[in-house]
Amino acid sequence: MMSPDSEILLEHPDRNLAMELVRATEAAAIRAVPWIGRGDKLGADGAAVDAMRAFLGTVNFDGLVVIGEGEKDAAPMLFNGEAVGNGRGPACDIAVDPIDGTSLTAAGRQNALSVIAVSERGTMLDASSVFYMDKIVTGPEGIGVIDIRRPIAENLRALAAAKNKDVGDLRVAVLDRPRHEQLIADIREAGAGTRLMLDGDVAGGINAARYESRIDMCVGIGGSPEGITTACAIKALGGFMQGVLAPRDDAERARGEAAGLDLDKVYGVDDLVSGDNTFFVATGVTDGGLVQGVRRKGPIIRTDSIVLRSRSGTIRRVQADHLVEKWLDEADR
């Protein structure tokens, strides 16, 4: 007969799961390396997807991809609704992004990551029917202080007061997109500085919530899938996050409403991910402010990863050396 402790382990993700998941992000990051700077983001993404899917198949959990590569018809692996893992562990929702920043990888730019986020089954919001989400993320100082419905200048003044800073000392991460021209102008007019991101707003959100980061806030419209993934990390960091879904047209609005999404609601972090035992795992593909990219050092490949868990409130950094002969094909050597 199974012991009560064993039953608990089968129902709830435990700390060992994080170390299994990091193997999958490491694999995806390593396989993406030959594509860095080659101008082929689809090739980079395909290599990372193949590697991540293969490793996830060995993990002791019953995973359901809630946030993945897209619908099954367009994504042969890691599609929304796909079952992953060996099925012998806890039932979990999973968000995967084999490369957050495929364009960054293709161009050889910084801040590309391989990412997995996990929470208990049924706790991740499935926002896949609406592609974009307007988001605001800060550290814990933003709790009870920031409101996405207010003008950005008011939020900046409120955050500065909560952090005992001048507004001029705040740094705000924003995706560098035409849709954000007015937002960027408003931030600068309020007196704060911007850190414009070419891609990869997951890292931007996490850096806004980390206490040692120079980023104080991440704001703007980015992907809804990235918003759910970021929420898993923010729960582990004790930070603040709000999001409002931003459909691009009436057809997308209708799909969102049909899926049961409230398009007028301000979603808090607990609405985006309601579980209290989230994991967030990321391995650097290229160098960035969160983690370093994959490095070849003679006979080894070195990876740098970050592992966050909300239940324990821990941030772990994992540096691993992998023997080249175990990882690369002859053509890659």
Strands 171-175 and 193-197: parallel
Distance of alpha carbon 243 from alpha carbon 103, whole angstroms: 24
Residue 128 structure tokens:
């896949």
SS3 of the chain: helix, strand, coil, percent, to 5? 35, 25, 35
Dist CA 306 CA 209 (whole Å) = 14
End-to-end CA distance of the chain: give it in Å, rounded.
50
Q: What gap in Å lies between CA 281 and CA 92, rounded to an integer?
A: 15
Residues that constitute the known binding site: 45, 69, 97, 100-102, 132, 177-179, 199-201, 223, 226
Annotated binding-site residue numbers for substrate:
100-102, 132, 177-179, 199-201, 223
Annotated binding site for Mn(2+): 45, 69, 97, 100, 226
What does the CA dihedral 90, 18, 58, 126 come to, rounded to 10 degrees? 60
Give yes or no for a contact between 68 and 40, defined as CB atoms under 8 angstroms apart. no
Token pair 């540096």 in the structure block, residue: 319
Q: Please name the residue that has the structure tokens 């409101």.
A: 147
In DSSP terms, 119 is beta-bridged to: 93
